[in-house]
Structure 1
């Protein structure tokens, strides 16, 4: 029996056993939760189980690390913009973004009357301070790579609600930088130990590694939340998170294990929230290290991937096949890029590169659903091309300190607009570039695309960039996983969300209890 078949049988047995156990628990939980109606109610305490979290949990809006951090900052702070459920830009604190004809200046006007949690009106000084804090060269925050065009010395206050950014170079895509989740606006006297934001919830209590409690912000500039209180509980373990939902300790969880989807879907006391997101799960190859410094080796490994099988087994079918290109929900995504499996050609490429009977070590971790399974499956697939992949399984504490140093490893991303993703992960200046990909033509096209105001012309440039990554980049992108969450049928308001973040991008201001 092949290892692939053995793995499939193991997964199927695991799903069956897990489903049987969960069914009994669900029956008990269902009797306690009772029936629900679609009428939204105001009030109540919403308890949510979030993946990740630990003693280094943070409330800094510009440096979140884990999903628990991100869930907190998206509810505590608002930025100038945001993504809607279709992964499209929508304004939050910004009333208007205006760019000049040469894309060298942006004028930002702030929403009138918006307040911080301490009652202070949000003004131009706060936005200018926030941007400078993010791009501080001595301590650049997570979003700094997508704001490289901004000159901190040329942020000009025009009036109490308006600033003008004079750029170092043209950047027609700069508005998209302010829809990234770690760009929340903070006051000029911001203290991360005593955080003040302008989001729909204000902080009540915070215990790192355990839970955070928030109260509804009554003076929120948008529609105020329905619930009185939000409690986010760190539950990094899948089993603990599911048990908390089934036992009634929480009303919603992110990251529902694939094995539990049929069981939860069949029980009227719970609902499964599925989003066809733009997340992706690549294998990363360092192009500056042998054997991956030879493009023929990178091409060969891409040809050895059975993408349909990986999606079927690693995602239990809950995802889409990918062909080595990211940001599938971006309006400029090139759908013509397709790569079929070709073991014969892969062997030929490896032989010409002098790497027949290649042996590799793949560093992997359970940081996202399907990563461990995908590593094992790909190792078996590669054997057909006379490639031996030894899977090195690490816990997250052992994997992430060497995140950009592994020669061959796994990775995971949620959706970003294409040019934002490039800035974060595929340029020489990108802080999260585990492949060390650095291509002069690609970089030149990126600069042209960012300067281009015409959408059609920008898409043409993006297509050329995607072709370069497809042909000689360092990412093997084999699948776009669905985002799978679950919540009690007592909860309404949460919708599918294409960004890839859990539970409607943690937009708990929309959640409510139903009668």
Structure 2
């Protein structure tokens, strides 16, 4: 998920799920379902209590874990959300929403933030306290470990941060951080009880309690009647593993599960509106594009980068590589998210202008290698389509298919042009993790001290309207000469049985309402 995700991490692993059969856990009796926006039509919109919902996800075999700080797969993340809570989580526009925290308040310098916790309890009855928060964050930041949220917590001085009351934490930061609430909502930043050492029988504060777990096969959780957000409608929630998309779709159609995560566009087209299952499209869940290395030929010349922006026929890429399940991009991350520069003109294909720019740059007969891999849906298809588009501008693209197990590491530093994708994250996180001189996942090698200075100025600016102006200024520059050719944004597709209610229709993967089973019920 982060870098899910998000860093392309979580998505990356989910798409890499090895082919496998539906586990024996899928051989249970059927229940049905339907998404939240249809609930009022046949059930008066009134939730009904009871029943067990079975949700099918791609799994990771023995690598699966209930340690929420190690979550790497979508299945891990969904289980963590059921068992644990974060201080905040992201809404569909990628702004942080309160969860275990009820409020966060900065000092004038934006380098100290006081976070107030709600009155919540863990599954064993202990209250969630400020010490639990500090323990959890210090565990995540352990330099000897590789917990997913570690990079997000980097601005926090956890040695200096302290509890100022049973339910108040003063976070001291290494520098002004206006967007500090994004840290509270970071992927994997879950709160666990102080001194937790193992997760064979995990105790959290989430809407469901642990019952059983068989890595690579299934997990069973039961309703937490003491949940601070209100007890879930379901009696039980079962996660089952089905690695192949066809296995998840087949289990849903056959009534062995009521929820199937990550279906492909062909499955959605075949069954949408046909009455057997419901298709829920989670819009803007994944950015799709290419990265150009801005520090090496030919892409060290901004005219060549602009030419490649103009070569792309975005609609053809969305239709061909995503089977139409998405919308076109404009060479910027975060369409539909807070601070997105929606006012910039939509870039369209202009082959004449592209050829002119290439001639100006002395690259009229350019030949370049495009690295791609079956590591993510649509990658190889998009590479082939873009190769054919470039040919019309006189550019020869040689498509090189890499090893999916090492692809993300390989393209970070090597090559010049590569297929790329990212899941949901705030635009601020995209900038800090991918576009600063010292960013650890800077795949475009965009390194400009004046751009870094704009980011630091943004983080030191308390006034939101002034910050929005800085976001737009940074995005204008990236739109004009950056290294991300963002051609589309893919839908994430979930299938449910016809009796399921409460599945949020517009929740990108990794956000608060994605895989949020405490609001789901069976009609």
Deviation at 1:227, TM superposition (A): 1.5
Q: Which residue of 2 aligns with 1:389?
A: 397
The answer on 1:234 being equivalent to 2:241 is yes
Give the equivalent residue in structure 2 for 1:7: none
Residue of structure 2 aligned with 1:102, choices 102, 109, 129: 109
**1:177-212 Cα distance to aligned partner (Å, 9 max, x none):** 212231111122123443332211233333333332
| Corresponding residue for residue 141 of structure 1 | 147
What residue in structure 2 maps to residue 372 of structure 1? 380
Query: Helix, strand or coil: the match of 1:379?
Result: helix
Q: Which has the higher helix share?
A: 1
Aligned to 2:293: 286
Provide the aligned length of Structure 1 versus Structure 2.
483
Cα distance change on mapping 1:42 and 1:172 into 2, 3 Å: same
Is 1:512 aligned to 2:521, yes or no? yes
- How far apart are the structure 2 equivalents of 1:394 and 1:204? 41
What is aligned with 1:272? 279
Cross-structure match for 1:222: 229
Which residue is equivalent to 2:429? 420
How much is the aligned-residue C-alpha RMSD, in angstroms? 2.5
- After superposition, the Cα gap between the structure-2 partners of 1:68 and 1:357, relative to the gap in structure 1 and judged at 3 Å, is farther
Q: 1:191 aligns with which of 193, 197, 200?
A: 197
Question: Does the Cα contact within 8 Å between 2:92 and 2:512 map onto a contact in 1?
Answer: no
Counterpart selection for 1:432 from 431, 437, 441: 441
Q: Structure 2: any 5+ residue segments left out of the alignment?
A: 1-29
**SS of the counterpart of 1:356?**
coil
Q: Report the equivalent of 2:132.
A: 126
In the alignment, the residues of structure 1 paired with residue 59 and residue 296 of structure 2 have an alpha-carbon distance, to the nearest angstrom, of 32
Q: Is this contact kept in 2: 1:406–1:434, CA < 8 A?
A: no
1:335 aligns with 2:342: yes
Q: Does 1:162 align with 2:171?
A: no
Range moving further from structure 2, 52-61 or 64-73: 52-61
Deviation at 1:294, TM superposition (A): 3.0
- 1:391 and 1:239 map into 2 onto residues whose CA distance is 28
2:69–2:189 contact (8 Å) kept in structure 1: yes
Measure the CA separation in 1 of the matches of 2:338 and 2:511. Answer: 22
SS of the counterpart of 1:267?
coil
Q: Deviation per CA, 1:426-483: give whole Å up to 9, x if none.
A: 2233333322322212111111111211111001111111122222322111111222
**1:277 match: secondary structure:** strand
Indicate the residue corresponding to 2:354 in structure 1.
346
2:364 to 349, 353, 356: 356
- Alignment of 1:492 with 2:498, yes or no, is no
Q: 1:92 deviation in Å?
A: 0.8
CA separation of 1:51/1:387 partners in 2, compared to 1, >3 Å: closer, same or farther?
farther
Q: Greater relative contact order (Cα 8 A, min sep 6): structure 1 or 2?
A: 2
The residue correspondences of 1:200-211 to structure 2 (distance < 5 A) are 200-211=207-218
Aligned residue runs from structure 1 range 398-477, under 5 A: 398-407=406-415, 408-477=417-486
Deviation at 1:236, TM superposition (A): 3.2
Q: 1:205 to 1:33 in 2, by over 3 A?
A: closer
Q: Describe how 1:108-119 pairs up with structure 2 within 5 A.
A: 108-112=115-119, 114-119=120-125
| Structure 1: tracts of 5 or more residues without a match | 1-30
Deviation track 1:273-326 (CA, whole Å, cap 9, x = no partner) reads: 123225311212233343333333322222211112112222222222111111
TM-score scaled by structure 1? 0.87
Tell me the distance in 2 between the aligned counterparts of 1:71 and 1:33: 20
TM-score (norm 2): 0.86
Counterpart position of 1:40: 47
